[in-house]
A and B are shown apart, each in its own frame.
Chain A
Amino acid sequence: MNRKFTWFNATSLTLGFTFLYLPMIILVIFSFNESKLVTVWAGFSTKWYGELLQNDAFLNAAWVTLKVAVLSSTLATILGTLAAYVMVRAGRFRGRTLFSGMIYAPLVMPEVITGLAMLLLFIAIGLDRGVTTIVLAHTTFTMCYVSVVVSSRLVTFDQSLEEAALDLGCTPFDAFKSVTLPIIAPAVISGWLLAFTLSLDDLVIASFAAGPSSTTLPMKIFSSVRLGVSPEINALSTLMISIVTVGVITASLISKRSIAKQRADEQAAVRT
């Protein structure tokens, strides 16, 4: 690109990012509002955070959500990594087209349809709805995201590394465990994080898959938001936004530093 950063560019970036961030900034500011009215400022207060921590319904829902997210993202990472390995390495086998179709379809499927289909399956096989069914549903739709992330790493993976491991006496499983896995680990971890966030976020599929006894945090937020805005939700949102922001910024700083370190190492190697 020949970079002539013009006034037009500066304006569109400013407007664009204001549009993206202003709503969230307002949301965060008004979580510290004294008044119950979310739109009128009445002085600084942290009382809504206190009330949030007293609210058992929210805390229970948060606990269920966390449990579901950890379980389903872990399962999804295992299955998604296997699926990616099969897609990239297993070569041709019968039903491969169907397999790749089943991996990509959930990525573009509207959540209402996936949720409906899942629920109808659980009813057909007589599975009681609860945490288990949410985990199963979340595992299924998030494993596809994991497999996309992992397979894009596997495609660029030098296959002779695995052959070298075999040549030096590894069994195929040992080669995967001690060579392939450590090298693709960053992709597997970001796959897990993606699955975790998707599960944490999901409202629609969870609404279908959850039974009357189990409510996830997004479901709880949705039902209370339908009744109108509330400062408690603002407080909760602020907490969630800060966790994500800290997480993403930390992750990007770590990766930035490791890239810088690798560059420095390589330069040191050239000098010797």
Chain B
Amino acid sequence: MNFRRLFLILTPYTWLLVFFLIPFAIVFKIALSDYAISIPPYTPQLDLSAGWEGVKSFFSDLDFENFTFLASDALYYSAYLSSLKIAAIATLITLLVGYPVAYGMAQSSDEWRPTLMMLVILPFWTSFLIRVYAWIGILSNEGFLNQALMGIGLIDSPLTILNTNVAVYVGIVYTYLPFMVLPIYSALEKLDGSLIEAAEDLGCSRAQAFWLVTIPLSKPGIIAGCFLVFIPALGEFVIPSLLGGSSTLMIGKVLFEEFFSNRDWPVASAVAVVLLLILIIPIILFQRNEQKQREAGL
């Protein structure tokens, strides 16, 4: 009985330790190492053959140099700031686009809801890459958007949208919209309709009832949706590298390039560590929101 239980626990446990936790330990370690022109391109290497002396010199060679470097180089500093800014603004736009959609879904009739639900989920199953790619043809200078705008005579010369931050916003809002709509919809769906009627009965106009009852009661869904967009958007790589331009600074892209183009593993690892530290705060807040929801649900 106990042996079986041990086996049951140890199988997934060991897997996650080896392929998830240990890799992060390695990232931390390399973040404290120095860049070197060798294979692998960093020092110190843990030299166990040198015995205790090897271990001691290994630890004494670790330092925070890479982090000081990150702090002193404006590139990284501004990449973090601009990632935070882009993710925050994109989240806000997604909320403004997503809330009316979720509200419309919640207001629609029972026979329509499963279909609408499926229509929101369907893009999630299609390739992320393809969905981002679809916008290149729309936003480029000769793209459909410029063609359409010039066709109706709104503009004379094409607008430059592709390879700017605007395109990145469009990409984030487009790909993460389902993550915003679904939690808000599930909060609105649970809302008891008699509450709105009670508010109207007590003298609220429809708009007031919406503002004073519907919005506050869908707050947990709004919060969950915002985190579900903000957290992955912060470390996003595909969208800035396909839709953004050379001036678009996002930390995911910086990390990728630092690693593959510059082969500076220690700095890439340090970038990753700092990104993790930044992410911990919203992740904890998100978990707390979820927990509160679960407790309220019980």
Contact = CB atoms under 8 A, between A and B. Distances in A.
Nearest to B24: A117
Contact of B194 (A2, A10, A104): A2
Interface residues of A, number: 85
B122 A245 contact: yes
Q: Which of A17, A80, A82, A103 has the most CB of B within 10 A?
A: A82
A26 B128 CA distance: 16
Interface in B64-122: 97-98, 100-101, 103-109, 114, 116, 118-122
B54 interface: no
A99 interface: yes
A121 B265 CA distance: 13
Nearest to B99: A12
B223 interface: no
Contact of B269 (A116, A139, A172): A116
Interface residues on B, range: 35 or more
B283 A102 contact: no
A203 B127 CA distance: 10
B17 interface: yes
Chain A interface mostly: helix
Interface stretch (B3-11, B55-63, B149-157): B3-11
Contacts of A37: 142
Interface string A88-119: 00100101001100111110101111001110
A244 to B, nearest CB: 5
Given A93-B9, A221-B133, A140 B144 contact: no
Interface of A: 1-6, 8-10, 12-13, 16-17, 19-21, 23-24, 26-27, 30, 37-40, 79-80, 82-83, 85-86, 90, 93, 95, 98-99, 102-106, 108, 110-113, 116-118, 120-121, 123-124, 136-137, 139-140, 143, 147, 172-173, 197, 200-201, 203-204, 207-208, 218, 221-222, 225-226, 229, 233, 237, 240-241, 244-245, 247-249, 252, 256
